[in-house]
Chains A and B, each alone.
Chain A
Amino acid sequence: MHTSNIIFFCILISALSLFSFNLWKIVRNIRLGNSKNRFDQPLKRTKILLKIAFGQTKLFARPVSGILHSLVYWGFLVITIGTVEMMIDGIFNLDRFFGVLGSFYDIATASGDVMAVLVLVSCLMFMFRRLFLKIKRFSGKEMKKSSSIDAIIALVIIVFLMISLLTMNIGYIGIHPESYFGSFPVSNFLLPYFANWNLHLIHDISWWAHIILVLVFLNELPYSKHFHVVMSIPNVYFSNIENLGKMDNMPSVTKEVKLMMDPNADPYAPPSADTPPPEAFGAKDVTDLNWVQLMNAYSCTECGRCTSECPANQTGKLLSPRKIMMDTRQRLKEVGKNIDKHGKDYSDNKSLLNDYISAEELWACTTCNACTQACPLNIDPLSIIVDLRRNLVMEESAAPQELNMMFNNIENNGAPWQFSAADRLNWKDE
């Protein structure tokens, strides 16, 4: 072991510790949510994961950004193999350790080498789109300057990650022209242009630059919207796999309704000792949401596909499904910070409903599922909107007047309008 290995080991451990610490906090925050069983049907879930996450299928609804994003994603998958190898090299001084894999190694390195260029080009095009093309979905009242800076920082890091990867490969094959492991078509093509350079130095600088950028990028993720890199796979796996139209029936309400409809139930019976205290209906704050909804919030990368398909938003209403997700995340982070500072029973007297999301936004939703359909990661803003509406209606009795009239009509005469049930067959003779 050399001094450099020890230095690398220390850097790696510090970087991974910081990341784990931030990851642990996010997991803790997600676990503040209510339970929700999404561990069913593993086979169907795996299929959807392969299709939507690894296959990137939902992104292709927008072909240009879809292809560019897929190249970056697939590139990352291939290049990560090399990153793992570099870490082994860094700790144990075993250069090109996976070289023992033979022809598989040739395929992996060749794809990594080619993908590096494709990722590089894609990210440059992404930057061009962000900086010079006015893409409507990148703006909106919930989009702050910081969102855009966030995006540019990540793109710049990735660009330098790819440049350093290529120069490292060039250095590597240049140092061992006859005896290198793997296959590097792009680097081989570029090698002649580096003929007069000190290839040893290029290789070593690139190696360190690349691995440090990897660790910087990793640690930037939890602080930015790019945490979706980490969350995308669990988020898709645990997403809603039923028909989009199917909305959950609240079990707490079922219990009450069954009791009401049971002629043998005694309404005056004292609650038995094991009856839990009555829970509030719907969601007022993030802790009333379930863990999948909170995970969704951390998975959102603010791409705006949901908002750009939302009929309410597109006709100038206040509602933006992206804002619903961003507000949920921001509020959850705030709740997490309060726990860190003041302990878990502290209340800041704020809530997701009203302090972040207004009733006007919620009442603009047509529950049309355009947002859930549009999301490349199957994030479900609609379920949050409905849970907040449930709180407004069942806890606060704060539905718009016309909806209260509609409720009354259903209760009194079994139709949303004021018509008598006896007239239900009148159409027959008209």
Chain B
Amino acid sequence: MSELQVKTMADFMASGKEADLLFWVGSAGSFDDRAKKITRAFVKILNKAGVNFGVLGAEESSSGDAAKRAGNEFLFQMQAMTNIQVMNAYNVKRIVTACPHSYNILKNEYKGLGGDYKVQHHTEFIAELVSKGKLTISANLKGAKVTYHDPCYLGRANNIYDAPRDLIKLLGVELVEMKRTKSRSFCCGAGGSQMFKEPEPGAQDININRTEEALGLKPDIIATGCPFCNTMMTDGVMAVSEGAAQVKDIAELIAENI
């Protein structure tokens, strides 16, 4: 039995009600075993705060980010227009997502194709819940050392640097910054469809380079806000020094402390 309360937009429509917002789960959040845990953690938070949200379920399809960044604009626009048709049919106005790639593309690139939504990253949304008093985070992680890896599609791409950090600090942890941080953060290596292919020949894998930098700070936890970054950093820790640090999404850290 699931303890999570999740309704699809179709459920809402069938019962004649409307959701306040759509949680865009994304392909990684739906299918990747590690990312599914992030999805569940975020839903736990949404349930706890009593948010009236819906998901698209089987009606959701790839946002088209992987296709677009790989140069397949045709496939991207097919995906975008299909998704927009579905979302507009459900009269979607607000979207929250735990994936910076979905966030970026829904917010910036769907607009020109007929999909105009207010889109938030889950860290922005959780920060808003906290500031409205709908969610209380306990500072249970006192003494833990955490470093935050900025996802490119959240940071440089959309200038969101503070919301994730503010949330991490609420956990009572010591937040330490890597040398390459915020707008000069170093990519995890997954963007631009690299997630779906082997890296080109080189001296080192990008995720190893970044993980070494993070582990250099001797953190207990490497926090991030992107399912792809999570995979890359998790693989990185396993390759560099297994067990040296945990890689966690901010939603997971919050869900464990509410």
Say yes or no: B196 contacts A253, CB within 8 Å.
Answer: no
Q: List chain B residues, Cβ under 8 A from A416.
A: 27, 62, 66, 195-196
Contact A261 B81, beta carbon cutoff 8 Å = yes
A425 interfacial contact with B, CB 8 Å: yes
The answer to whether B75 and A411 have CB atoms under 8 Å apart is: yes
Contact across chains for B25 and A424 when beta carbons are under 8 A apart: yes
Q: Roughly how many angstroms separate A311 CA and B236 CA in the complex, as a whole number? A: 15
Q: Which residues of B contact A406 (CB under 8 A)?
A: 66-67, 70, 193, 196-197
How many whole Å from A398's CB to the nearest CB in chain B? 10
Q: How far is the CA of A253 from the CA of B71 in the complex (A)?
A: 12
Residues in A348-393 with C-beta less than 8 Å from chain B: 360, 363-370, 373-374, 386, 388-393
Complex interface: chain A residues within 8 A of B194 (CB): 366
Cβ contacts B30-44/A at 8 Å (1 or 0 each): 111000100110010
Residue numbers in A under 8 Å from B203 (CB-CB):
315-316
Q: Which residues of A contact B209 (CB under 8 A)?
A: 311, 314-315
Knowing A403-B197, A410-B62, A410-B75, the reply to whether A373 touches B187 (Cβ < 8 A) is no
Closest chain B CB from A336 CB (angstroms): 27
Known contacts A410-B75, A425-B57: does B157 contact A245 (CB below 8 Å)?
Answer: yes
Q: Are A367 and B191 in contact (CB under 8 A)?
A: yes
**Would you call the interface of chain A mostly helix, strand, loop, or mixed?**
helix
Rounded to whole Å, the gap between the CB of A34 and the closest CB of chain B is 15
Tell me if A368 and B62 are in contact (CB < 8 A): no
Contacts of A315 in B (CB 8 A): 202-206, 208-209
Contact B72 A368 (CB under 8 A): no
Contact call B71/A364, Cβ cutoff below 8 A: no
A-B contact count (CB 8 A): 219
Interface flag for A281 (CB, 8 Å): yes
- CB distance B153 to A245 under 8 Å? yes
Distance in angstroms from A180 CB to nearest chain B CB is 49
**Smallest CB–CB gap between A244 and chain B, Å?**
5
A281 touches B73 (CB 8 A): yes
The reply to whether A428 and B2 form a contact with Cβ atoms under 8 Å apart is yes
CB < 8 Å: which of B6, B70, B202 contacts A393?
A: B70
Whether the pair A410, B192 counts as a contact (CB closer than 8 A) is no
* B136 CB–A CB distance under 8 Å: no
Give the shortest distance, in Å, between A62 (CB) and chain B (any CB). 10
Chain A residue contacts of B8, Cβ below 8 A: 425
Give the residue name and chain of the B residue nearest to A408 (CB): B75
B positions within 8 Å CB-CB of A: 2, 4, 6, 8, 25, 27, 29-32, 36, 39-40, 43, 55-58, 60-62, 64, 66-75, 77-79, 81, 104, 108-109, 112-113, 152-153, 156-159, 183-184, 186-187, 189-206, 208-210
